[in-house]
Structure formats: C-alpha cells, structure tokens
Structure 1
C-alpha cells in the first residue's frame, strides 16, 4: 500500500493555477484560493495564477505558455469540466496534451463517488503531460478541488510518496525531445 518514505527528501513542485470561468474574478475565486492555500501549505511553490473566460483557444494558449515556462512544473485548472456548451476546458487541455493520464479521471471519479454519489458522472476531470509539464483539469467547485488535491494530487506531488509519484519521473517527461 502507499506510504511516505521517510528517508526521501521533500522536493517542492512549482505549480500554476488557472481558473476558467465566465463569472468569477479574483475576489470570488474560491476554488483558486483553495488550491493556492493547499499548494503552499504542502510546501510547494505557487508559480503563477490567472483567471480566463471559457474560451478554448485562450485556455490552450495559456496552457502552452505555462508549459514552455521552465519555472512551472505542473498546471492545475479549475472550472469548465462539466457538460454545458461553455465548458471547454477539457477540450483545451486535450489540444495541448502529448500524453493523457487516463487513470486520473478514473481515480477522481472514484473519489467523487464516495462524496457525491452518481453525480460524479457529470465531471470530465482529466490529466496529461505536455512539454515535460503535468496538467490537470479539475471541476470548478471548491469541494471537487479539495477532493482532487487531498485525495490524489497532494500524494502524487510528494516525492516521498511510495511506491511511486509524479515527482520522481519529472526529469524524464520530456526525454523524447532530447533524443538525437
């Protein structure tokens, strides 16, 4: 089972947070605030934070810009993962991904089922990798962001988490770009 390897050092991850919403601003962005608090409390670095409207091209452009930034290791977006016509965050993420982390959505659904039952089917949370950067699209509710961080991402962004975690393979995420 999973555990913390006490002999391993903690390695801070530089994480950017993007809120996708047509109605939220900095003063009303509870999900972005929650993620910022969780990230810094865990000992990681908030590398960037922004809010964008539900516009697929703009979201994808911001994701690509942050993926190209050497000061950002991971990106968490919140909002735009539902089923309505304006929910385009998942499509924007998939425009950017080089590889999708299919199990993230599955594990998130499992976690959500324990909290909200069959309503979990309405989320399209997803994860992937691009340019050596992790990207995760989380629902817009603070409860869903809390569940994703507390039950999945906090452990996977902790190098001490055993038997494996995202941090230990970070140096190899873009190895295909370095081949000669």
Structure 2
C-alpha cells in the first residue's frame, strides 16, 4: 500500500483579516499566518504595476517557514501612474476620495507564492473601478464610518463604499485584497487540492 502524498502546507504572509477570509473561500486554512515586515516605500519613478509585483515578491521572500509554501499579496490603488497611499488618517482618506471622485482608477492586486525550494510563482490582477462624483457630504459620511482606515486609496469596496461605485471591471476579490481566480490557479499548480 502506497502512502498518499502529503498535502502541502500554506503560510499566509498577511495579517489582513480580509485575505484570511478570502483564502477560506477556496477551502483552505493556512497552517500559519505571519505578517511580513518590509519597507513598503515605492522606489523613485516606480510604476504601480511594478510596485505591486515587487511588494508581493518581497513579502513572500521575507517569511521563512521551512517546508511550507508562502502566499503573499499586495493591493495597489493607482490613478494614472500615481500610487495612492494607504489611508492612515482622515486627511489622507479625504484626499484619496476627492481624487477618485467621478473617475476611473485601477486596482492592481499582485500575489506571489514561494515554494519550499524558494522558487516563486506570481500573478497580477488588474481591475478598473469607477466612483460616482462624490459630494462633500458623501465623503464626510464615508469618513465618519471609519472603513477607510489602513485601506489603499482610502476605501474598502466590501463596505459602504460599494454603494458609491458606478462600475467595476475585473476581480472584485482582487479589489478586496486577494484575487481568487489567480490565487486558485497558483495554488493548484503548486499541488494544493482545490475543487
């Protein structure tokens, strides 16, 4: 009787509860959750797509857990070539929402999967999101709710901001923080049993 191959072990390199919830939708529970502590400052002249990919790679490579696969992701909100910050205060969130008001922007969600042999597989999801023109009252109301705190571009699509979005073309889960189609493909290629 031959022993069945052991299911690969997965470490999620993120403290984000949203990423934990999303990976659960694929029927997976990480063996461990370890947030990567890296410098997230964009390089001079770095464009959003390259920045998102670099952040996902660096987060995956920063986690050392022998014999495991490490999944890391990074979500970037971009307006043209401009990388919008994670809103850490009301003023930043307000400035982001004012910039996004009535226009389209891109959300780039990069993922990187580091195998036990340290090789990397990578994917990138690009989604176009368009906000309605936002009144000052709508921005004030959204700020008051606090959903913007720590979110790239100053909003969380999975909350009340979804009611301000006219259209989305691409991956909803990618805007939340983990593009499930791309993540599923990477994990299946690495030997994870996903239906």
Tell me the TM-score range normalised by the shorter chain.
0.3 to 0.5
Query: Scaled by the length of structure 2, what TM-score is found?
Result: 0.36
Q: Considering fraction of residues, name the structure with more helix.
A: 1
Query: Scaled by the length of structure 1, what TM-score is found?
Result: 0.38
Higher relative contact order (CA 8 A, sep 6+): 1
